Structure 1
């Protein structure tokens, strides 16, 4: 009986031992590297950039590594630009543009021809592949190519990096834990880069481009190294004014309207810069309409005021997202537009160009910022100030790429108005305090303060609300408009006109704390009128924001809409 009990105990111990071994012993399974790198087709080259595995959109051809344009743009160097319409690769330098044609060993830097001993740009259909050697000429990267599978490890990040030495032979696993499959083996004394640390495991990058997990106990000599590489980054020089900019847009709609510039200047105080809306894109070929006047520029200069002529992609020959995309997505059309813009600017003697493009879709973003880069080259060559107008940053307008604007342009202007705009389904302020504050704070995350100009409105909107009929409410069920029960119309008006409307209605003005503005509402024959007033009380806190954040200055839309006294307030903050 005792023997039987001992036997049962031994059997039970063996079963428990086997169970524990299976549960806690290290797995010897190897991970499928094709799956790890995302390789699906023969000939694909896997790619790691710093500490991440990216899409395997690369290839080896004649011993050279090539990377698909989208990967280059998104992970390595966003200044490379591929135009599939005209089969040309561009790279914009501060005063030159590098251009490469498909299948060529030659390239040009502006008008100078240069050559390599390899084909720089290859295509498969509309997909472009760029030689890594060529990318490296213009990018601070190192790379190494490996086989089995074909892969390239690219390093773009430099500076302080944590590294460790392998204490003993061990494995890099796909995830933390001994049961996770093995990516690769590590030998004693090999060095790894530590990506992040967990309780018992470290995420590491190996010298040959595997990114996975190693037991902390297998590592020693954890230290910080300063990794550097000799590379001369291009310097995008900018024009910087040594005074606080006091700018205003002048909404000029025809040649005759240029004649009132002297009156507008006389009615202002301390104006440093005037931006007349002179230029419009005429058509989808990149031609331009102009109502620029050399006399206007001379009058402004006599008053010691600079002229930054505004070009717009709306209210002219084109006026849609599709049309702006059609112009900006072709290199020849951008070039045509820039040539006309620079030529006309030099003809009338303006001091700068102000870009106000408001029809840029997400799809158009990369073409738009390439236009800004290319225009910046020509402005730099001709001593013209380049300023670019932007919405208050939101998730849906990130395609404007304010960070890159802040590098290549001289000034980035925030249009701190149209919070509620013509066509809004509900009434609201044109420019609440928090809206302007958010615009400044979010822009400063990407653009240096000395390059930021805060735009403010000289206008208000009078809102008119009428209840929707039952038929209208039924027709909008299930749509985005379902929550709105009022038909809403609005009219933009200057400061004096807005105040007169309130006085005429006999309405009481109250302070709207949430908006930081004076507010009035009244009712006539079942219609409700609402207005948030732009006046000294609303503008002063916004000007304080400009001053407190040490911005480059302020800009106002638009001359002629202001109350005469508002200039005394502005002078307090620009002097």
Structure 2
């Protein structure tokens, strides 16, 4: 059975009517009313008001964009300065934030002694062994006990401050800045939130500029970096380093950060007014009228004094002789001597001054120099006894030859000893000279400070290579000598500098691919060369005659000879630098021709 579809198909007219009714229904609906959105209104109002503010304040629309594209996050300033407690104070030294700290104790600012010595005044000395802080002037030693507010001096004076002069904390000695200012020219300014101080000890010209438009000082260069603080229009900043779009600056309250270059105007150079509150005392000195020609006399016992007559017979133009006489005999600071008053009398009759050598190479095995120098009482005993010997012998000067100052921890006790020795020598009219290796090898003897307090600095211009050297080489090549003198002259006036030359060299002997050396004195080196069949020729690089060869027994030798040619080369370099004179190690090692070369230097100026 077939089912029929009984659904009636609509006519075209009915479809049109149906469509018409549908449109009519849609058209009759009411459109929904849009609701008021307060958030949109507020944002729009902020933008409008911000634009009005920018225009009225003289800024451009870029500042408006700044509100939305630049970070406004405030930097943690305690973290910025690494503040670790309520008494911790950060230090800005010149234009640099440093790691060393200051302290704020009882309303007084204290700074790490190392910062003071390295940047403000090197003459403060802390003796942990004695529990004292000392300061020396040309004629006085001022002493204060750690943790106290009183001081005494070596002339019998005393005083009391309104604050504790120095305090210990965190295994560090801190000294009150107001005490340091009594002996130093520098400025400091303190700031809070957070605690930091500005220390200024140099007054060099600096670049500054003015803030053209209000801007942010940021921790780093870039718009997303945290903000240290706002910089207002008209503030001056110090320009430290310039980049493409940013500049590293220091603000007036000693925050160091970065600002956009376009926010600056009126760049210029400014020289700060120096602080001159403290009148530096004058370090007077004894200065000879002529160039010094000093011969070291190597003496191992009292019997060695008898060699003076023979040695002087071969010299020419010598005006100072320096015999090795004084040494530390006991651990309490007792000074021993092998000196001779007759020796001094003979030298004086020959027209020479005598500068007594006081060395540290004959101390007994039971003690070391550093068992003595950190203690004020032992330093005083050494100085008193050494100068008593100089006076007793009738000598004219003291030549200090302490060669064991080869570690940093020995530097401060040694230089304090030097300062105190200089006070005693100055008061007694004794010439004070100090022997030094070139700073190429020894940087712990503080030759700059020596150059202030001593009358003469004697440079031991030799031992470029020693028996302990890994490779053979000259005792004193011209490059070594020139470099050493130039380093010293950066810190010491040339009128105080005497350069010592060697009257010896080293013959290097090879054995199984290794070398050891034997000292050859100038007066016997020609015999050595002849005996071993070694011929030499001039080496311009070292400024010496160089030779190598094989002896009859098959031994290989290398040698850089010290002779009149190499000596003349060194004296020429000394003359060019206008030094105070020449010294020789040691008389008795030389040839007679060497004195003619030296005389042409000392008498030709």
Question: Match of 1:557?
Answer: 585
Q: Does 1:527 align with 2:562?
A: no
Supply the distance in 2 between the matched residues of 1:144 and 1:125 (Cα, whole angstroms): 24
Supply the distance in 1 between the matched residues of 2:453 and 2:190 (Cα, whole angstroms): 33
Q: Does 1:362 align with 2:440?
A: no
**Residue 329 (structure 1) aligned to one of 362, 374, 377:** 374
**Residue 422 (structure 2) aligned to one of 349, 362, 376:** 376
Question: Match of 2:474?
Answer: 429
Deviation at 1:113? 0.7
Supply the distance in 2 between the matched residues of 1:432 and 1:325 (Cα, whole angstroms): 33
**Residue 340 (structure 2) aligned to one of 266, 277, 293:** 293
**Residue 83 (structure 2) aligned to one of 29, 39, 51:** 39
Deviation at 1:26? 2.7
1:39-58 mapped onto 2 (5 Å cutoff): 39-58=83-102
Question: Match of 2:529?
Answer: 502
Distance 1:176-1:347 versus aligned 2 partners, 3 A rule:
farther
Supply the distance in 2 between the matched residues of 1:175 and 1:377 (Cα, whole angstroms): 51
Supply the distance in 2 between the matched residues of 1:523 and 1:299 (Cα, whole angstroms): 46
Distance 1:465-1:167 versus aligned 2 partners, 3 A rule:
same
Q: Does 1:251 align with 2:298?
A: yes
Deviation at 1:261? 1.9
Are the counterparts in 2 of residues 39 and 56 from structure 1 also a CA contact under 8 Å?
Answer: no
Are the counterparts in 2 of residues 44 and 56 from structure 1 also a CA contact under 8 Å?
Answer: no
Deviation at 1:23? 13
Deviation at 1:518? 1.8
Per-residue displacement from partner, 1:364-405 (whole Å, max 9, x unpaired)?
Answer: 1222222222212222112222222221222x5222222222
Supply the distance in 2 between the matched residues of 1:257 and 1:98 (Cα, whole angstroms): 42
Per-residue displacement from partner, 1:403-445 (whole Å, max 9, x unpaired)?
Answer: 2222222222221111111322332211111111111122222
Supply the distance in 1 between the matched residues of 2:247 and 2:365 (Cα, whole angstroms): 56
Deviation at 1:237? 2.1
Residues 456-465 or 507-516, more deviating: 507-516
Supply the distance in 2 between the matched residues of 1:113 and 1:425 (Cα, whole angstroms): 55
Supply the distance in 2 between the matched residues of 1:213 and 1:386 (Cα, whole angstroms): 52
Secondary structure of 2:208 counterpart: strand
TM-score, length-normalised on structure 1? 0.87
Are the counterparts in 2 of residues 284 and 318 from structure 1 also a CA contact under 8 Å?
Answer: no
Q: Does 1:393 align with 2:421?
A: no
Q: Which runs of 5+ in 2 are unaligned?
A: 1-64
Q: Does 1:94 align with 2:160?
A: no
Question: Match of 1:264?
Answer: 311
Per-residue displacement from partner, 1:304-328 (whole Å, max 9, x unpaired)?
Answer: 2111111212244369xx9233333
Q: Does 1:63 align with 2:111?
A: no
1:115-126 mapped onto 2 (5 Å cutoff): 115-124=160-169, 126=171
Q: Does 1:220 align with 2:270?
A: no
Supply the distance in 2 between the matched residues of 1:411 and 1:62 (Cα, whole angstroms): 45
Are the counterparts in 1 of residues 532 and 550 from structure 2 also a CA contact under 8 Å?
Answer: no
1:176-215 mapped onto 2 (5 Å cutoff): 176-215=221-260
Distance 1:173-1:349 versus aligned 2 partners, 3 A rule:
farther
Distance 1:119-1:466 versus aligned 2 partners, 3 A rule:
same
Secondary structure of 1:399 counterpart: coil
Distance 1:108-1:501 versus aligned 2 partners, 3 A rule:
same
Are the counterparts in 2 of residues 282 and 318 from structure 1 also a CA contact under 8 Å?
Answer: no
**Residue 463 (structure 1) aligned to one of 496, 505, 508:** 508
Question: Match of 1:80?
Answer: 124
Deviation at 1:137? 0.8
Supply the distance in 1 between the matched residues of 2:100 and 2:315 (Cα, whole angstroms): 59
Secondary structure of 1:425 counterpart: coil
Distance 1:507-1:248 versus aligned 2 partners, 3 A rule:
same
Are the counterparts in 2 of residues 55 and 71 from structure 1 also a CA contact under 8 Å?
Answer: no
Supply the distance in 2 between the matched residues of 1:285 and 1:171 (Cα, whole angstroms): 64
**Residue 144 (structure 1) aligned to one of 160, 176, 189:** 189
Question: Match of 1:515?
Answer: 542
Deviation at 1:42? 4.7
Larger Rg: 2
Supply the distance in 2 between the matched residues of 1:289 and 1:179 (Cα, whole angstroms): 72
Deviation at 1:458? 0.5
Supply the distance in 2 between the matched residues of 1:170 and 1:457 (Cα, whole angstroms): 66
Distance 1:200-1:225 versus aligned 2 partners, 3 A rule:
farther
Secondary structure of 2:507 counterpart: strand
Q: Does 1:242 align with 2:289?
A: yes
Question: Match of 1:451?
Answer: 496
Per-residue displacement from partner, 1:135-170 (whole Å, max 9, x unpaired)?
Answer: 111111121222222222221112533333333322
Distance 1:199-1:292 versus aligned 2 partners, 3 A rule:
farther
Secondary structure of 1:518 counterpart: strand
Secondary structure of 1:400 counterpart: coil
Supply the distance in 1 between the matched residues of 2:73 and 2:170 (Cα, whole angstroms): 39
Are the counterparts in 1 of residues 534 and 550 from structure 2 also a CA contact under 8 Å?
Answer: no
Question: Match of 2:27?
Answer: none
